[in-house]
Structure 1
């Protein structure tokens, strides 16, 4: 038996554990791609040679107005690296600072503090541009653009409605029910009203709503239709980046919000897709640390990825610090009240509620495997949420797993679990 020490990201730090490396079938990581050495040059190259539309030089006129959409803290975007370049480029095109603003695409997440906004885009940009939260609960902040063919009311933040150009920024990873992040998601759900998000996300109950899927995915198609309604007669320009697990830039895509996003998603599949030869008895996965494991709401996405690598009836040991607890009072209340996956799904089909939908998302991968958390999450809360166990260390978790997978299980390791998407290749 040869024991090897492994070192996984956990919250804002690291967690080490020993494992017999003879048990390890595979350690899944993102594909090694060269890191972008000159970020400013990369940004300028992308926006000056856009995909599917003219460059900003051709479409931005002196004195026009611009709204940038930026990610909130639950999405790693490194906006502080590219926003100064984009803002200065607007200045070069004779758009003064006072004609620009930033809207943070919170979706249904909590509001950002001013300090968090400054941290997100950098002190220089924050001192020059007005910044706003898109608060989905502030009904007066949204304008109506009709409804989609699936009945979703298209209510979009007013700060995006009164400008000449909307620039969608952010990063792209796989998304567990809308296919991929980035692109149209900056607007819907990012800058949409609660009822818009609620109705759109209700389609996650459809079996065609899945990770890496766009064609036939009702969530994705509804988002695209909703954004198209808003985009009619408007200038939208996309800037999306792909990061590695260390949050370094690999590639940037800019241009038409549909065409550039499609091309970027092909690259996402290359970087984050991970072929496996067989499913393992046991998967040990890290979300990748903060902010991917800031709360249960965000951690859940890693559950879907890990479930793709484990056999039916196996065990996933998930390293997720959860410094902010569950991330949703509604999520907690749903589990306490309904108690079973069947009851949760039945109620959602009757009345889809944001927050409660995460309870469904958490229990769905539990149909395939048992989930043991290594976390500081409250133990009763973890029990309420139907996790098999919640412990403080990997050795404790492995000891607990033995009763389900025996003394010598086959193991797949996923140190970048929120990013890597296992794909079974026979």
Structure 2
């Protein structure tokens, strides 16, 4: 037997497995973290991708808006934001002429305390901070409609400034290809209707993890951001982190071109070859905040499915201290009761929240999911999981009733980050 320790909420869960059953332990590639973050940031600001040096873009007395991730996406904004503000000061931009807009997308508003935690006390004490709340329609301005029919409504707090600096981190995204880049604005700082129409394209098969070209969600987001960007100065600053929340590399420059460069590195860090698919995948989301609720947990589900056989099982460590994360997600699963029924309703009337029900349950057509979680047991069943359990041993026993004993196992301790793919023979 071999013992493993997987992240769970703010702590760890320990379990043991027969070593001969394990095909592979899937992990991120062990790149060294940045040792001198200030120097690395200075380098990319003054040697950006496809844009002039930052000192040729930003002028004294100008106004700058930063877009920052909310707490559901780990970006380490508290590490890089003080450095970015100090650099703006050196370029002649005063603290009172800068502010931060948190890109919530359709997530809940952050409290002031959460904002401080996200960017650090130094930054929070220096600049104004706002939430982009998608349902507050008076906060959004219209910039036209994309060729796919998405009305582009963008938050006013990034409209009346000289420069918008998009910050955040990049990981694979289950239907937009990759996070980061343009997503800071759309869906991050977009109105609910903008997000709703854009996300409706996730029903198309081309909307896939790790895909940009031909992906309708990604291409629609790019087109929407370009409509907003006409006559505006946008500058990207994105970080790539490892599973320990350490910054491995930073990228800056043109919103689209710098993002594509960063995505090549993301594939190297998070992509992982496996020799075969497993009967059982055991995965952790990576702990808080990635397992804060089912809404966030779903990203790990998508990655785990890449490593499991048809009709196999996934055992997922996910505390879900905030439950489902969406009443609409809960209600849709409970009311419709099957992946096919959920998809059929979305095709007729696509709604945010209900789309997450599709994202979660469509994966159940390939594998059965067993949660090691604090999620309410009745809720877990109503959301079409095989069940929620206190321990790995209970979850494994339940899984083996359905798929048989002694199946081969792939372990994914960094499940929200790693994207397994079969080795080419």
On whether the aligned pair clears a TM of 0.5, the verdict is: yes
User: Which aligned pairs between 1:183-194 and structure 2 lie closer than 5 A?
Assistant: 183-194=181-192
> Among 235, 241, 244, which residue is 1:243 paired with?
241
Is the contact between residue 77 and residue 118 of structure 2 (CA under 8 Å) also seen in structure 1? yes
Equivalent-residue separation in structure 1 for 2:19 and 2:136 (angstroms): 53
For each residue in 1:214-248, what CA deviation from the matched residue of structure 2 results, as whole angstroms up to 9, or x when unmatched?
01100000000000000111000000000000000
User: Which aligned pairs between 1:335-374 and structure 2 lie closer than 5 A?
Assistant: 335-374=333-372
For each residue in 1:327-364, what CA deviation from the matched residue of structure 2 results, as whole angstroms up to 9, or x when unmatched?
01111111121111111111100110000000000011
* TM-score (ref. length: structure 1): 0.99
- The match for 2:283 is 285
Equivalent-residue separation in structure 1 for 2:20 and 2:162 (angstroms): 60
Equivalent-residue separation in structure 2 for 1:404 and 1:279 (angstroms): 18
Note the aligned Cα RMSD (angstroms).
0.6
- The match for 1:51 is 49
- The match for 1:133 is 131
> Among 156, 180, 183, which residue is 1:182 paired with?
180
Q: Secondary structure at the match of 2:283?
A: strand
> Among 72, 80, 98, which residue is 1:74 paired with?
72
Equivalent-residue separation in structure 2 for 1:335 and 1:421 (angstroms): 26
Q: Secondary structure at the match of 2:116?
A: helix
- The match for 1:93 is 91
Q: Secondary structure at the match of 2:262?
A: helix
Q: Deviation of residue 395 (structure 1)? A: 0.6
User: Which aligned pairs between 1:29-44 and structure 2 lie closer than 5 A?
Assistant: 29-44=27-42
Instruction: Could you list the structure 1 runs, at least 4 aligned residues long, displaced by more than 3 angstroms after superposition.
Output: none
Equivalent-residue separation in structure 1 for 2:339 and 2:242 (angstroms): 34
> Among 147, 150, 166, which residue is 2:148 paired with?
150
- The match for 2:319 is 321
For each residue in 1:275-308, what CA deviation from the matched residue of structure 2 results, as whole angstroms up to 9, or x when unmatched?
0110000100000111110000000011110001
Equivalent-residue separation in structure 2 for 1:37 and 1:400 (angstroms): 45
**Alignment partner of 1:312 is 2:306:** no
Q: Secondary structure at the match of 2:125?
A: helix
Q: Secondary structure at the match of 1:317?
A: strand
Q: Secondary structure at the match of 1:128?
A: coil
For each residue in 1:70-124, what CA deviation from the matched residue of structure 2 results, as whole angstroms up to 9, or x when unmatched?
0000000100000000001000000001100000000000000000001111101
For each residue in 1:247-275, what CA deviation from the matched residue of structure 2 results, as whole angstroms up to 9, or x when unmatched?
00100000000110000000000000010
User: Which aligned pairs between 1:158-169 and structure 2 lie closer than 5 A?
Assistant: 158-169=156-167
**Alignment partner of 1:384 is 2:389:** no
Deviates more, 1:299-308 or 1:400-409: 400-409
For each residue in 1:380-416, what CA deviation from the matched residue of structure 2 results, as whole angstroms up to 9, or x when unmatched?
1100110012101101111111112322110000000
Deviates more, 1:380-389 or 1:333-342: 333-342
Q: Secondary structure at the match of 2:358?
A: helix
Equivalent-residue separation in structure 2 for 1:406 and 1:121 (angstroms): 48
Structure 2 gaps of 5+ residues are none
Equivalent-residue separation in structure 2 for 1:229 and 1:261 (angstroms): 18
Equivalent-residue separation in structure 1 for 2:403 and 2:345 (angstroms): 33
User: How many positions carry a matched residue from both structures?
Assistant: 424
* TM-score (ref. length: structure 2): 0.99
For each residue in 1:37-56, what CA deviation from the matched residue of structure 2 results, as whole angstroms up to 9, or x when unmatched?
11111111111111110121
Q: Secondary structure at the match of 2:5?
A: strand
Structure 1 gaps of 5+ residues are none
- The match for 1:215 is 213
Is the contact between residue 301 and residue 363 of structure 2 (CA under 8 Å) also seen in structure 1? yes
